[in-house]
């Protein structure tokens, strides 16, 4: 009789393609709005990430690949040499502390405002459908505008922006990249039928709606090698006014196609109670989508330690990404290992400026 498979612990190593993570407590991407002038990271950002280098893998905050890709104040970019040099401060600090870090490549699409766009232009999207809600411009809350639908001839240029960002991320010393295909931003807007009403090769069928996701992933893998590329998906999420008529079919198709690429990992968020309160469909998450993807599956979405261990034991996640707990607890893996108390996050400083609520959370006493 064969031996029973060993159930992995949160504190066991895991291989993600070419990246070996020493534990399965990952740091989720967290927008913090603390980049400097020109969307350039600086020493404060380097210290923030250095403090959290004990994560199995840090996934950086979402980082725009394009001047048109911004929708929040003071978020970083990865399309200029100065931005790459700023990120090099971060990767050097993380590596000196023994950590690993991937850059999340981002374009917000319609979740923007002319005040963020070059020359006050209209934000772009797959279709001219305005999101409900308001955007903080840096000075006021404003209604989202109706975006401009990208012309078919513009789409190769969008893919080229992701490629350029991937190349600069490599120059900046990252260990890999994660493609942000979640939370209602540009690639997610193309993927879901609630926001993609196109009638060309990038709209209509699920195969067409998934086309941009797969083309960007293949192009980025051409820069890094697929074994250093991850992708984030939010199949049940409703953030940024998102919806899809058949998320199991849509995301099942995408994950089947991604499975053939042998990526480092797919990062699939689960539906939380907060999502359901805002109209999300329960039951469409990593557990339901696991049959479509045989590679490493990372999950996120309000996990505590028992829930994380249950996901690993049941086999529908290979690692768990923690967001707010990592924000407030720079030594989160050790705190979870010891079942130690967690610091209380200061929500008023999540998107503020300066070190308060950023680099001043204490670690456990030695």
Catalytic residues: 185
Q: Are 96 and 88 in contact (CB under 8 A)?
A: no
Radius of gyration of the chain (CA): 19
End-to-end CA distance of the chain: give it in Å, rounded: 46
- Residues shown for the chain: 366
φ, ψ of residue 88 to 5 degrees: the values are -60, -35
User: What are the b/e assignments for 18-31, b being 16+ CB within 10 Å?
Assistant: ebebbbbbbbbbbb
Which pairs count as long-range contacts for 274-281, CB under 8 Å and 24+ apart, including other chains? Answer: 274/302, 275/236, 275/237, 275/238, 275/239, 275/301, 278/238, 278/239, 279/238, 279/243, 280/236, 280/237, 280/238, 281/236, 281/247
Give the β-pairing of 134-136 and 141-143: antiparallel
290: which DSSP letter?
Answer: G
285: which DSSP letter?
Answer: S
Give the β-pairing of 265-269 and 297-300: parallel
């Amino acid at each position: 009789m064969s031996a029973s498979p060993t159930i992995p612990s949160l504190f066991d190593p895991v291989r993600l393609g070419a990246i070996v993570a020493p534990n399965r407590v990952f740091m989720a991407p967290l927008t913090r709005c603390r980049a400097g002038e020109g969307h350039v990271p600086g020493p404060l950002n380097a210290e923030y990430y250095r403090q959290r280098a004990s994560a199995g893998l840090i996934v950086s905050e979402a980082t725009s690949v394009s001047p048109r890709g911004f929708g929040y104040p003071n978020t970083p970019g990865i399309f200029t040499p100065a931005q790459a040099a700023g990120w090099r401060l971060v990767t050097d600090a993380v590596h000196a502390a023994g950590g690993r870090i991937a850059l999340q490549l981002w374009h917000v699409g319609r979740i923007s405002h002319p005040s963020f766009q070059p020359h006050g232009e209209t934000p772009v999207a797959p279709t001219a459908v305005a999101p409900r809600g308001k955007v903080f411009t840096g000075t006021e809350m404003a209604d989202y505008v109706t975006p401009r639908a990208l012309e078919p001839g513009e789409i190769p240029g969008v893919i080229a922006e992701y490629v350029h960002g991937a190349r600069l991320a490599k120059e900046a010393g990252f260990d890999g990249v994660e493609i942000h295909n979640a939370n209602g931003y540009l690639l997610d807007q193309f993927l879901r039928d609630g926001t993609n009403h196109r009638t060309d090769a990038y709209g209509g069928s699920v195969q067409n709606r998934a086309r941009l996701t797969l083309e960007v992933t293949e192009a980025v893998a051409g820069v890094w090698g697929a074994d250093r590329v991850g992708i984030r998906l939010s199949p049940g999420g409703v953030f940024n006014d998102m919806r899809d008529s058949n998320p199991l079919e849509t995301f099942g198709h995408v994950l089947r196609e991604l499975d053939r690429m042998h990526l480092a990992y797919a990062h699939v968020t689960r539906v939380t109670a907060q999502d359901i309160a805002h109209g999300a469909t329960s039951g469409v998450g990593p557990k339901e989508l696991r049959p479509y993807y045989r590679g490493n599956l990372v999950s996120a979405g309000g996990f505590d330690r028992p829930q994380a261990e249950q996901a690993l034991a049941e086999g529908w996640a290979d690692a768990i990404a923690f967001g707010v707990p990592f924000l407030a607890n720079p030594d989160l893996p050790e705190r979870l290992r010891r079942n130690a108390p967690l610091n209380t996050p200061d929500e008023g400083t999540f998107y503020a400026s300066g070190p308060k609520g950023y680099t001043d959370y204490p670690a456990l006493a030695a």
